Amino acid sequence: MAPFEGRTVLVVGTGLVGTSVGLALTRAGVDVRLADAKPEILAEAVRLGAGRPEPDGPGEPAALAVVAVPPEAVAEVIGEVLESRRAEYATDVASVKVLPTMQVRERVADPGRYVGSHPMAGREVSGPNAALADLFEGRPWVICPDDGTHQQAVTRALAVARLVGATPMTMTAAEHDAAVALVSHTPHVVAALMAGRLAGAPGHEVRLAGPGVTDVTRIASGDPELWTEILTANAAAVRPVLEGLRTDLDRLMAALETPVAGQPVLRELLRGGVDGRSRLPGKHGAAHTEFATVIVAVEDKPGQLAALFADAGAAGVNVEDVRIEHAAGQPLGLVELDVRPGAEDELAASLRERGWTIRG
């Protein structure tokens, strides 16, 4: 906590993210002050140990304010906090960055005291009670300085990101918004539109659904209100990605409408999918690794997974990833264990020896 030695950090807005920041900074030894428009929400965050309430009246300004309020309130709160000198510098945590940056510029005499940031972590639930001191552990925390940003604002925001255990990255607000449009907002649109096709489909069609469409549509169950706001706020960055997608979709539909020998367009688009997929980061931020998979049939009852993992552990093979697939109409699940290529035979043999039914 050297960067905040003898100083305080102010967290404004003690919902899930604000309270998690407070808990993590407090654990790291930082003196955290908390504020929230709702006294009961503030009291809850204090009770959980996220910090102490911000004292009333003028006093020593905080070294940095972390403003964790709903996106539409960000600029107003940042403006108030900086102009009233409750803090020397301020950052926010909203998932879109160009819009708040522009809004802050219009409101603050010295907008260089603000730097936008986006911790890429969250939960399906909200409120201080859902907060976790290690919510940001190992997650990217993007910080978006521009030419006018004071170095101290960046240094202090980076210090917060590191103190809460996140992996800080810096890029411009426009780069950030383009990146989340590509890797978060467009995938949400794609999943939602695909899932939408299932909504009116006959039952016998939906009954044939397997693990593929289940994966593709998983994120489509996200809150439509929240996603309407996110997509609207980042429309400028999402639209070009959707336009590229629309062009590819048109080309693919034309290739299906008028097939030609060898279907070169279809092949090219499907190969592009394989290429793009291979660029996704694998575990530990390393390049994407293809694992070998051992498939085990297990009965669907308590203790089976425990026994399986105990036996896998006894084989001395590290399980890198695991998926469970349930067979329709059967009290039986398939557990897919991903292991480093080369270790699959050893694991399969060892599990077979211990009486497991191996399918792969």
Shortest separation between residue 102's beta carbon and a copy of itself, angstroms: 16
Helix, strand or coil, per DSSP, at residue 275 = helix
Indicate the residue among 8 and 117 with the shorter CB distance to a copy of itself.
117
Indicate the residue among 95 and 101 with the shorter CB distance to a copy of itself.
95
Shortest separation between residue 7's beta carbon and a copy of itself, angstroms: 28
CB contact set of 359 (below 8 Å; sequence gap of 6+): 295, 296, 297, 334
223: left (phi over 0), alpha (psi -120 to 50) or beta: beta
CA distance 231 to 16: 21
Shortest separation between residue 93's beta carbon and a copy of itself, angstroms: 15
Shortest separation between residue 72's beta carbon and a copy of itself, angstroms: 13
Indicate the residue among 102 and 314 with the shorter CB distance to a copy of itself.
314
Closest by Cα among 103, 168, 165, 173 to 134 = 165
CA distance 79 to 181: 27
Beta-carbon count within 10 A of 209 CB: 13
Indicate the residue among 56 and 124 with the shorter CB distance to a copy of itself.
124
Shortest separation between residue 9's beta carbon and a copy of itself, angstroms: 23
Closest by Cα among 91, 78, 16, 92 to 50 = 16
Indicate the residue among 29 and 360 with the shorter CB distance to a copy of itself.
360
Q: Are 344 and 312 in contact (CB under 8 A)?
A: no
Shortest separation between residue 336's beta carbon and a copy of itself, angstroms: 11
Beta-carbon count within 10 A of 80 CB: 16
State phi, psi for 167 to the nearest 5 degrees.
-105, 105
Q: What is the DSSP letter of 87?
A: B
Indicate the residue among 32 and 133 with the shorter CB distance to a copy of itself.
133
